[in-house]
Chains A and B, each alone.
Chain A
Amino acid sequence: MKYDLRDIVSVGLATIFLCFAAFNNKFPIVTGDSGLYMDMGFSKNVHQGHSFIYGLFLAHSSWHLTLWLPILTQGFFVAFLLSILFKFYFDNSNWRVYFIGFVLFLVFATTASYTISTVSPAIFIITGLLSLSILYLPIRLLSYQQYFIFFLLILGMCIDIVLLIEATVFIITVFCLKGLRKSKVQITPNTLRGLVVSLVVVWIITYSANYLIEFTNNSHQDQLIMVDSFSDYQTKLFDSFGRLQTVGFKSDHEVTPKSAIYKWYHDQFREYVISSQSWGELSITILNYSTLILVVVGVLGYLVIRNRENIEMTHFLFILLPIFLVCHPFCSAIFKLSPTISIGSVIWIMLLPIYIKFIPVINKVIHVNRSIV
């Protein structure tokens, strides 16, 4: 799947559009927990119930300079994954139009841009899910694209333990179906192998996290940065199994976004203070309603409209995405994990299969109208 200059321009534009909410707010949007993530990334303190990996992601992708870089990176991840899917579904030069159309639709009619522009790990559910979908679908990827998507999947699973559990169940199911030689399973053996290896790696990391954290707490922290990089989610999961004890976590809920920005991004403090959010002028009530209405109407429309093109592949996304999203809070509850990621903030991804299914229908309508004219 090669990208020419126009494709790259399109992905670049999509990245900028996806960060619309941050630009509109004058600063990346922060939540109550954003300060903790920033603090974790730099001070290497682990805060209960918050993904340490995301803290590291913030610290490294921002280059300790500006929070705009992590936001643009988040936007790029989503734009890149969406572009691969659109290139796959619409194998002609028009894919760019559909792709940019979908991005603009997400940005201006849903809360997508707000999720992407927020200093929060929520967006990694989306990147994880999209990566998994891309790896499952029969898409011819270049090797660097494949590695990058594996990287995003591993990152997503490390940040969100529930995604790890869901992905494990999914891959085991696919593995079993493949073993039973079900014709509908489209994944290639190589990719399946890669997925299994990724899972094993993340599970090993997860399993060893507690021991390693214990080890670091008895040693000098700065010497073993990698050890600190494991999320306490992982350890917490084992806590729920009653096998291991969580030790040495610092709980400091006094790290507010304001204090963290002041401490870690001091040059940006003025910028933060004049943002719309700081002035209490940020409101997404209408966008929340709009997202909800669009998803409900879209799902109903999807079920009503009969369209044979790409049907199996859109069905895959249409079924996989809600299952993952619905299972997410249940998994959190079963394993007593802190629900730091709100599903409401990522529900807009449901519009992807709906949009893909609707495009041929709209094209057909336009074509019929043209021929009448």
Chain B
Amino acid sequence: MKPVLFNILIFILCIITLCSLGIYNGFPFVFNSDTAVYLEEAYYKVLHPERPAIYGLFLQIFSLDYSLWLVILTQAMMITIIIFLAFKHLGSRKVQEFRWYFLTFILIVSLGMGASFNVSRLMADVFTPVCVISVGILLFGRNVKLIDRILLILFTLIGVSMHNTNMYVCIGSIFIVWLINEYSSITNRLVPFKKFTLTLTIVFNGLLFSVTIHYLNWQEFKTPRGGAVFLFANMVEMGIVDQYLKEHCEKNDYKICEYKKDIPNNFLWADNSPMNKTGGWVANEQEYKEILIDILKHPKYLFELAYKSILLTGKQFFMYDIGGVFIPSERIDETVRRFFPDDFSSYMSSKQHQDTSDFQFINYTQNVIVGVSFLFIFIVLVQGYKTTNEIRLLCLYILIALLVNAFICGTVSGAFFRYQNRLVWLLPLPLFIHLSNLFYFNKSKREKSTPSSTHRLNLISYEK
């Protein structure tokens, strides 16, 4: 078989494997009412304050108004490309040298971790690893050709604009890696400052891209503005709002003060929540913003917030199980029935709708793989195991991206499994790229041939 054909076959196999949990479920997974909100935004042309509408547009375009299966196929293709680019630019350059490791990586993260679950779900979460890895390659990749560079920039722009948190995760990760690069001996200023500024500019352009798309489709030149309400709701769960209202309701005339003694935990979505009793999201946004600002002005609450944020970061960091697969709400039923009538019967008979899906075993294997990956990262970063600079930087970068993601999601929205599950499957990536490099290194040694110029640097790093 010709190598090109063989590579295409591997590529197709990767896409199918990444959709495997969707196939197992009988239909792409949906999430609470969020999937419905995205579809409504695209089809009814209404903007909801809590969600960016671009993912809705993505659903509309790539489903071809025909089937939602096409969406998860596109998502799988995207993930395959980005992982392929990571192997290409952070490890061995020749496809023949890494293709088996690439395939094994996709098989392991799809069948033993949450990659396939994220790809097979109609949620914008799948774009977080896309933009994180794109940024990683833009920062540490060597000899990235123009076509690949354009692809990476495009992925970064799309990825950043898809979800409220993606931009903060990318900016936070870039900033921390820059700090370490400048001031720590781990990286020894391997990445030039120019690369950081360029990548940061691309990430900020993602925001511009987002508001432009919003303007073109919904005639509103603004980003989703749910952040303050999310943070307020999370502060309710942290217990800070209770304390604040107890001490400040006498002086201030807030609407929420009426309900200060029985504020439920599920503040955003509970029917008996004061927010839903007093006019909903938009009507209360201003009041919650005022309270938030006042809370941040008091050192006492600020200290409490800092402590709870650290705790929530810890929780979120280790909360990466596949979960949250609930029976879809009637709102999603209605949306799928209305916009994808041909898919409706398979949607209704899916495992998720029948409540028969079980992920206990995959969660167990995921834990084991995460353990092995952590050990590898520990060996590289703490024990100083000799490997290429790219691998070392990638280990550091993925760890930081996971931490920043945990911090931002944990603090702004609360600790939920899906936030970390969307990224955790990237943990074994440095290990697999390292293995492919090692294989090439051993092979070159065996053949005792002069390595090609592109590989020489890798070899030098290993031999050192």
Which residues of A line the B interface, CB within 8 A?
6, 9-10, 13, 16-17, 20, 23-24, 26, 68, 93-94, 96-97, 100-101, 104-105, 107-109, 267-271, 273-274, 281, 283, 285-287, 290, 373
Task: Provide the residues of chain B in CB contact with A101, threshold 8 Å.
Answer: 375
Given the known A-B contacts A100-B375, A104-B374, are A23 and B382 also in contact in the complex, defined by CB atoms under 8 Å? Answer: no
**Residues A9 and B382 in contact, CB atoms below 8 Å apart:** yes
Pick the most buried of A24, A68, A97, A285: most chain B CB atoms within 10 A of its CB: A24
Task: Provide the residues of chain A in CB contact with B239, threshold 8 Å.
Answer: 267-271
**Residues B378 and A26 in contact, CB atoms below 8 Å apart:** no
> Nearest CB to that of A21 among chain B residues?
B318
Given the known A-B contacts A16-B314, A24-B321, A104-B374, are A273 and B265 also in contact in the complex, defined by CB atoms under 8 Å? Answer: yes
What 0/1 pattern do residues 361 to 385 of B give for CB contact below 8 A with A? 1011001101110110011001100
Expressed in whole angstroms, the Cα–Cα distance for A24 and B415 within the complex equals 9
Task: Provide the residues of chain B in CB contact with A26, threshold 8 Å.
Answer: 315, 319, 415
Expressed in whole angstroms, the Cα–Cα distance for A373 and B372 within the complex equals 24
Known: A274-B265, A286-B363. 17 other contacts (CB 8 A): A9-B382, A23-B317, A24-B318, A24-B319, A93-B383, A94-B383, A97-B378, A97-B379, A97-B383, A100-B378, A107-B371, A109-B368, A109-B371, A269-B239, A283-B360, A287-B364, A373-B442
**Residues A373 and B383 in contact, CB atoms below 8 Å apart:** no
- Minimum-distance CB pairs A-B, first 8: A108-B371, A23-B318, A104-B371, A108-B367, A286-B364, A23-B315, A24-B318, A100-B378
Task: Provide the residues of chain A in CB contact with B317, threshold 8 Å.
Answer: 23
One of B311, B370, B382 near A68 (C-beta < 8 A): B311
- 15 A–B pairs (Cβ distance < 8 Å), ordered by A: A6-B382, A6-B383, A10-B382, A23-B317, A24-B319, A24-B321, A96-B383, A100-B374, A101-B375, A104-B374, A108-B368, A270-B236, A281-B323, A286-B361, A290-B364
Expressed in whole angstroms, the Cα–Cα distance for A217 and B203 within the complex equals 69
**Residues B319 and A108 in contact, CB atoms below 8 Å apart:** no
Tell me which residues from 264 to 323 in chain B have a Cβ below 8 Å from any Cβ of chain A: 265, 311, 314-315, 317-319, 321, 323
Task: Provide the residues of chain A in CB contact with B371, threshold 8 Å.
Answer: 104-105, 107-109
**Residues A274 and B237 in contact, CB atoms below 8 Å apart:** yes
* B113 CB → nearest A CB, Å: 13
* B188 CB → nearest A CB, Å: 18
* Chain B interface, DSSP helix/strand/loop, else mixed: helix
Pick the most buried of B314, B360, B378, B379: most chain A CB atoms within 10 A of its CB: B378
Task: Provide the residues of chain B in CB contact with A285, threshold 8 Å.
Answer: 360
> Nearest CB to that of B414 among chain A residues?
A274
Task: Provide the residues of chain A in CB contact with B364, threshold 8 Å.
Answer: 286-287, 290
* B374 CB → nearest A CB, Å: 6
Q: Number of residue pairs across A and B with beta carbons under 8 Å?
A: 73
**Residues B237 and A23 in contact, CB atoms below 8 Å apart:** no
Q: Is there a chain A Cβ closer than 8 Å to B446's Cβ? A: yes
Expressed in whole angstroms, the Cα–Cα distance for A17 and B368 within the complex equals 13
* B271 CB → nearest A CB, Å: 17
Given the known A-B contacts A26-B415, A270-B237, A287-B364, are A96 and B370 also in contact in the complex, defined by CB atoms under 8 Å? Answer: no
Task: Provide the residues of chain A in CB contact with B314, threshold 8 Å.
Answer: 16, 23
* B380 CB → nearest A CB, Å: 11
Tell me which residues from 381 to 405 in chain B have a Cβ below 8 Å from any Cβ of chain A: 382-383
Expressed in whole angstroms, the Cα–Cα distance for A274 and B415 within the complex equals 10
Task: Provide the residues of chain A in CB contact with B383, threshold 8 Å.
Answer: 6, 93-94, 96-97
Task: Provide the residues of chain B in CB contact with A16, threshold 8 Å.
Answer: 314
> Nearest CB to that of A107 among chain B residues?
B371
**Residues A97 and B375 in contact, CB atoms below 8 Å apart:** yes
Expressed in whole angstroms, the Cα–Cα distance for A96 and B317 within the complex equals 23
Task: Provide the residues of chain B in CB contact with A108, threshold 8 Å.
Answer: 367-368, 370-371
Task: Provide the residues of chain A in CB contact with B378, threshold 8 Å.
Answer: 13, 96-97, 100
Task: Provide the residues of chain B in CB contact with A274, threshold 8 Å.
Answer: 237, 265
* B323 CB → nearest A CB, Å: 7
Expressed in whole angstroms, the Cα–Cα distance for A13 and B383 within the complex equals 13
Expressed in whole angstroms, the Cα–Cα distance for A312 and B319 within the complex equals 41
Task: Provide the residues of chain B in CB contact with A270, threshold 8 Å.
Answer: 236-239, 242, 265
* A133 CB → nearest B CB, Å: 25
> Nearest CB to that of A266 among chain B residues?
B239
> Nearest CB to that of A24 among chain B residues?
B318
Expressed in whole angstroms, the Cα–Cα distance for A16 and B311 within the complex equals 12
Task: Provide the residues of chain B in CB contact with A269, threshold 8 Å.
Answer: 239
Task: Provide the residues of chain B in CB contact with A96, threshold 8 Å.
Answer: 378, 382-383
Given the known A-B contacts A104-B374, A285-B360, are A20 and B237 also in contact in the complex, defined by CB atoms under 8 Å? Answer: no
Task: Provide the residues of chain B in CB contact with A20, threshold 8 Å.
Answer: 318
Expressed in whole angstroms, the Cα–Cα distance for A105 and B372 within the complex equals 8
* B407 CB → nearest A CB, Å: 14
Expressed in whole angstroms, the Cα–Cα distance for A283 and B361 within the complex equals 11
Task: Provide the residues of chain B in CB contact with A17, threshold 8 Å.
Answer: 374
Expressed in whole angstroms, the Cα–Cα distance for A290 and B368 within the complex equals 11
Task: Provide the residues of chain A in CB contact with B379, threshold 8 Å.
Answer: 97
Tell me which residues from 98 to 149 in chain B have a Cβ below 8 Å from any Cβ of chain A: none
Pick the most buried of B360, B371, B446: most chain A CB atoms within 10 A of its CB: B371
> Nearest CB to that of A274 among chain B residues?
B265
Expressed in whole angstroms, the Cα–Cα distance for A267 and B323 within the complex equals 27
Expressed in whole angstroms, the Cα–Cα distance for A268 and B240 within the complex equals 11
What 0/1 pattern do residues 212 to 247 of B give for CB contact below 8 A with A? 000000000000000000000000111100100000
* A109 CB → nearest B CB, Å: 6
* B91 CB → nearest A CB, Å: 19
Expressed in whole angstroms, the Cα–Cα distance for A20 and B319 within the complex equals 9
* A77 CB → nearest B CB, Å: 19
Expressed in whole angstroms, the Cα–Cα distance for A270 and B263 within the complex equals 11
Expressed in whole angstroms, the Cα–Cα distance for A109 and B375 within the complex equals 14
Given the known A-B contacts A93-B383, A373-B446, are A286 and B237 also in contact in the complex, defined by CB atoms under 8 Å? Answer: no
Expressed in whole angstroms, the Cα–Cα distance for A68 and B372 within the complex equals 26
> Nearest CB to that of B317 among chain A residues?
A23
Expressed in whole angstroms, the Cα–Cα distance for A87 and B174 within the complex equals 37
> Nearest CB to that of B238 among chain A residues?
A270
Task: Provide the residues of chain B in CB contact with A267, threshold 8 Å.
Answer: 239
**Residues A23 and B370 in contact, CB atoms below 8 Å apart:** no
What 0/1 pattern do residues 136 to 176 of B give for CB contact below 8 A with A? 00000000000000000000000000000000000000000
> Nearest CB to that of B360 among chain A residues?
A286
Expressed in whole angstroms, the Cα–Cα distance for A307 and B308 within the complex equals 49
* B239 CB → nearest A CB, Å: 5
> Nearest CB to that of B439 among chain A residues?
A373
Expressed in whole angstroms, the Cα–Cα distance for A101 and B382 within the complex equals 13
> Nearest CB to that of B415 among chain A residues?
A26
> Nearest CB to that of B312 among chain A residues?
A26
Expressed in whole angstroms, the Cα–Cα distance for A17 and B375 within the complex equals 11
Task: Provide the residues of chain B in CB contact with A273, threshold 8 Å.
Answer: 265
Expressed in whole angstroms, the Cα–Cα distance for A270 and B414 within the complex equals 13
What 0/1 pattern do residues 315 to 349 of B give for CB contact below 8 A with A? 10111010100000000000000000000000000
Expressed in whole angstroms, the Cα–Cα distance for A287 and B239 within the complex equals 33
Expressed in whole angstroms, the Cα–Cα distance for A146 and B173 within the complex equals 42
> Nearest CB to that of B368 among chain A residues?
A108
Expressed in whole angstroms, the Cα–Cα distance for A310 and B52 within the complex equals 61
> Nearest CB to that of B369 among chain A residues?
A108
